[in-house]
Amino acid sequence: MRLLPAVLTATLLIGSLASAAEQRVRSPDGKLTLIVSDDAGLRYRVELDGKPLLADSVLGLAFSDGTTLGPAAKITDTKKASRKATWDNPLGQRRTVPDRFRELRITLNEGTAPVRTFALVARAYDDGVAFRYDLPEASGLGEFTLKRELTEFRFPADHRAWPGDESGCAENTYFKRKLSEIPRETPQSWRRGQPYCSVLPLLVETPSAYVAVAESDLLDWAGLFLTGTGETAVRAELAPRQDGRGAVVGRVPMVSPWRVVMVGHTAADLVTNDLVATLATPSRVVDTSWVKPGVSAWDAWWTGVNPSQPQYTAVLARGDNRSHREYIDFASEMGWPYQLVDWFWYQHMTDWHKSLFSQPNQPSGDFTQSVPDIDLPGLVAYARAKNVRLFVWGHSLDVQTAGIDKTLGYLASLGVAGVKIDFINSDSQEAVQWCVRVLESAARNHLMVDFHGTYKPTGLARTYPNFVTQEGVLGNEYNKLGGSVTARHTLILPFTRGLLGPMDYTPGGFLNRTQSTFKVTYPAQVMGTRARQLAMTVVYRSPLLVLCDSPANYRGQPGVEFFRGLPTVWDESVVLSAEVGKHLVIARRSGKRWFIAAMNGDDALTMDVSLDALGLKGRDWQLREFADGADPAAPETVVETTRDLGDARTLTLHLSSGGGYAAVIMK
């Protein structure tokens, strides 16, 4: 990845502004305006087309020594800049990403003896606004401990919203409620005594737009949550440090992550918003030619166990050489480049439920010693002969205690392609710093990384392109744990978690059931139709696409051919129709092929979808469809059709309850 040269950059220094109480920065298209004022403490508001989108909202930081920045701040100087550029994203939902904004850097003074100088950097893009706190040497803070952030997001009215429920690893649902109904206190025992922490993003529907609150460029700070106020505002809540020293320990100069407000006039406008990645630090990895996206087989869907349910202990607790060879063989047959060797493959693995910081004196796992049923070097060689490479799993605590560089260096020496590192379960400052260290070491060893049990995306995949995917989502594995992966949940994800970045949802379950017939079984069933599981592979973007089911369930089955030659990164993405929780139809282009995917909610749906936005020229286009069957009681049915598109530029889709549709349009 590289930042393309800016077409236009302009900087204007405005002198001392002793009497200035309000400063504005407007988006390049003139529709969005971010306004910062100091007449009642440091505050901001946002307007869309001249009308309030966010009302006056508090800004500021509070430190452990009693220092606060913001409540009495005064604007003393401003500096304007703009950019009209693009950046290249070979691992995203569009290859060329706009980077057009106007920026206002506002210098502020607080206090008299001593005077604390700090800055707020504000940007306005056509599809959102963002701001961050800048703590320079002139602030006089030196080494500091940040206790909390005062930032709030106040809306003009009590709008409908979809906050993310509490979760230590962003494996949460999003339930519709009014802003005033977002809790202020936690119901969760794991955060007892702490404020309620809603996982980002927060999706809000206003009369004029859909808004999503997020963060970007989280590299050395505490992760951001939101908590309710009982009013139309939500306020920032930072993840506490593991050592109990507030939220952030640092030394100036230092900047906070970006606080991001993504904006779309419609729900469809919001789905392909790339602002979180665009705001992130550009790639720190000079050579990324070895980073190869693609599809992976994965045997843990069948052989994994829910350790909290003893009745399933008879099921294999891990894969073995035989099962992994079977999955490697199938990956080779399908043209997939990867197989994932999941947990329990090495000796002395940390207990599955431990997190990175829960047991600092935990004995180390030994990655050089496979369990008796696994010959990792032999599997690497077997896979290589089949033109397949391996990803291997590791518990974060085992990686830490064995040594990050030692562990990743050893695995790289075996010839594995990447690592899946699990059970981080935090976005404290220490956890964020740890993830960055892992990515840096992995890049030195030419290893790709898939973080599981981790916090939501914050643009880190742009900074380290070897970070090819992550969990941070309540995904398909929860079909093993209960009935939370409903049609509603899976259709809200594209408008919430999906806005933030790559998502290792592990789609592709072929034991398809209706919501009323679904049961927790081993092997695992999934809710909704098979065509829906096909559609997820396009809707849920992930450069490393891990498909969850077994060769026995895939071979010769209707729909499996959609997975052959399936891209995992895209040149262009267009939302054709969308309504939160109701339906989504999206088209993504790879080269000269367009992939169409549709998902709907609980209600069956018939709809006409125009393809005009795809710019298809001529009549020589072929459509290969994978659609729901006519019988809603038979969700495993897939109707496959191949036909010439001709002059037709409208598709009529018939979606069952919890249904889906997947298609390829090619010359």
Q: What is the pLDDT of residues 551-597, one digit of tens each?
A: 999 999 999 999 999 999 999 999 999 999 999 999 999 999 999 99
Q: Are 562 and 663 in contact (CB under 8 A)?
A: no
Place of tokens 């206090």: 111
Is the confidence at residue 496, as pLDDT, over 80?
A: yes
User: Can you tell me the distance from the alpha carbon of 280 to that of 502, in angstroms, rounded to the nearest whole number?
Assistant: 14
Check which CATH number belongs to the domain holding 105 and give it: 2.70.98.10
What's the whole-number mean pLDDT along residues 655-664?
Answer: 98
**β-strands 448-451, 418-422 pairing:** parallel
Same domain, 584 and 446: no
Is the confidence at residue 306, as pLDDT, over 70?
A: no
Which of 97-106, 296-305, 306-315, 477-486 is the least confident region? Answer: 306-315
How confident is the model at residue 16, as a pLDDT?
40
Same domain, 247 and 326: no
* Residue 428 belongs to some domain of the structure: yes
* Residue 378 belongs to some domain of the structure: yes
Show which of 421, 439, 472 is a domain's final residue: 472
More confident residue, 419 or 193: 419
Question: Taking CA 527 as the corner, what is the angle to CA 324 and CA 470, rounded to the nearest 5 degrees?
Answer: 55
User: Can you tell me the distance from the alpha carbon of 383 to that of 38, in angstroms, rounded to the nearest whole number?
Assistant: 62
Stated pTM of the model: 0.94
What's the whole-number mean pLDDT along residues 441-463?
Answer: 98
* Residue 163 belongs to some domain of the structure: no
Instruction: Output the furthest CA–CA distance in the chain (Å, rounded).
Output: 77
How confident is the model at residue 67, as a pLDDT?
96
Angle between helices 321-334 and 376-385 (to 10 degrees): 20
> What does each C-alpha distance from 474 to 170, 172, 276, 297 come to in angstroms?
7, 5, 20, 20
Place of tokens 């990384």: 449
Is the confidence at residue 293, as pLDDT, over 90?
A: yes
How confident is the model at residue 192, as a pLDDT?
58
- Which residues, in sequence order, are CB contacts of 211 under 8 Å at separation 6+? 53, 54, 203, 204, 261, 262, 263
How confident is the model at residue 319, as a pLDDT?
81
Residue 405: CB atoms within 10 A of its CB come to 15
How confident is the model at residue 361, as a pLDDT?
60
What's the whole-number mean pLDDT along residues 417-430?
Answer: 96
How confident is the model at residue 294, as a pLDDT?
98
Read off the pLDDT of residues 81-93 as tens digits, 9 standing for 90 and up: 999 999 999 999 9
User: Can you tell me the distance from the alpha carbon of 133 to that of 129, in angstroms, rounded to the nearest whole number?
Assistant: 14
Check which CATH number belongs to the domain holding 594 and give it: 3.20.20.70
How confident is the model at residue 555, as a pLDDT?
96
Q: Are 536 and 562 in contact (CB under 8 A)?
A: no
Same domain, 354 and 488: no
* Residue 582 belongs to some domain of the structure: yes
* pLDDT classification of 357: cutoffs 50, 70, 90: confident
How confident is the model at residue 316, as a pLDDT?
41
Is the confidence at residue 315, as pLDDT, over 60?
A: no
Same domain, 463 and 491: no
Q: Which residues pair with 394 in a beta bridge?
A: 421
Residue 173: CB atoms within 10 A of its CB come to 19
User: Can you tell me the distance from the alpha carbon of 62 to that of 68, in angstroms, rounded to the nearest whole number?
Assistant: 4
Read off the pLDDT of residues 615-637 as tens digits, 9 standing for 90 and up: 999 999 999 999 999 999 999 99
Burial 462-483 (b: 16+ CB within 10 A, else e): bbbbbbbbbbbbbbbbbbbeee
User: Can you tell me the distance from the alpha carbon of 228 to that of 183, in angstroms, rounded to the nearest whole number?
Assistant: 5
User: Can you tell me the distance from the alpha carbon of 57 to that of 35, in angstroms, rounded to the nearest whole number?
Assistant: 10
User: Can you tell me the distance from the alpha carbon of 70 to that of 67, in angstroms, rounded to the nearest whole number?
Assistant: 10
For CA atoms 655, 656, 659, 665, the dihedral sign is negative
Show which of 472, 488, 504 is a domain's final residue: 472
User: Can you tell me the distance from the alpha carbon of 644 to that of 446, in angstroms, rounded to the nearest whole number?
Assistant: 44
* Residue 613 belongs to some domain of the structure: yes
* Residue 607 belongs to some domain of the structure: yes
Same domain, 537 and 660: yes
Structural tokens at position 519: 């049961």
Same domain, 434 and 579: no
Is the confidence at residue 312, as pLDDT, over 90?
A: no
Read off the pLDDT of residues 11-49 as tens digits, 9 standing for 90 and up: 333 334 433 579 999 999 999 999 999 999 999 999 999
What's the whole-number mean pLDDT along residues 282-299?
Answer: 97
Q: Which residues pair with 623 in a beta bridge?
A: 643, 665
How confident is the model at residue 565, as a pLDDT?
96
Same domain, 100 and 227: yes
What's the whole-number mean pLDDT along residues 50-55?
Answer: 98
Is the confidence at residue 314, as pLDDT, over 50?
A: no
Same domain, 92 and 14: yes
3-class DSSP assignment, residue 538: helix
Same domain, 136 and 149: yes
* pLDDT classification of 362: cutoffs 50, 70, 90: low
Number of domains the chain is built from? 3
Read off the pLDDT of residues 201-240 as tens digits, 9 standing for 90 and up: 999 999 999 999 999 999 999 999 999 999 999 999 999 9
Same domain, 50 and 130: yes
How confident is the model at residue 364, as a pLDDT?
72
Question: Taking CA 337 as the corner, what is the angle to CA 498 and CA 399, rounded to the nearest 5 degrees?
Answer: 70
* pLDDT classification of 370: cutoffs 50, 70, 90: very high
Read off the pLDDT of residues 152-207 as tens digits, 9 standing for 90 and up: 999 999 999 999 999 989 999 999 999 999 999 877 655 656 788 999 999 999 99
Q: Which residues pair with 204 in a beta bridge?
A: 161, 211
What's the whole-number mean pLDDT along residues 123-135?
Answer: 98
User: Can you tell me the distance from the alpha carbon of 598 to that of 73, in angstroms, rounded to the nearest whole number?
Assistant: 50
What's the whole-number mean pLDDT along residues 462-484?
Answer: 95
Q: Are 239 and 263 in contact (CB under 8 A)?
A: no
* Residue 466 belongs to some domain of the structure: yes
Show which of 238, 259, 280 is a domain's final residue: 259
The alpha carbon of 281 is separated from its chain's Cα centroid by a whole number of angstroms, namely: 16
* Residue 8 belongs to some domain of the structure: yes
How confident is the model at residue 348, as a pLDDT?
75
Q: Are 246 and 238 in contact (CB under 8 A)?
A: no
Structural tokens at position 511: 């034991």
Structural tokens at position 376: 């990792």
Place of tokens 């409540």: 71
DSSP class per residue in 353-411: T--TTT-TTPPPPEEEEE-TT--HHHHHHHHHHTT-EEEEEEEHHHHHHH-HHHHHHHH
Is the confidence at residue 656, as pLDDT, over 80?
A: yes
Same domain, 416 and 525: no
Name the residue range of residue 342's domain.
294-472
Q: Rounded to the nearest 10 degrees, how much is the dihedral formed by the CA atoms of 551, 320, 374, 321?
A: -50
Same domain, 138 and 227: yes
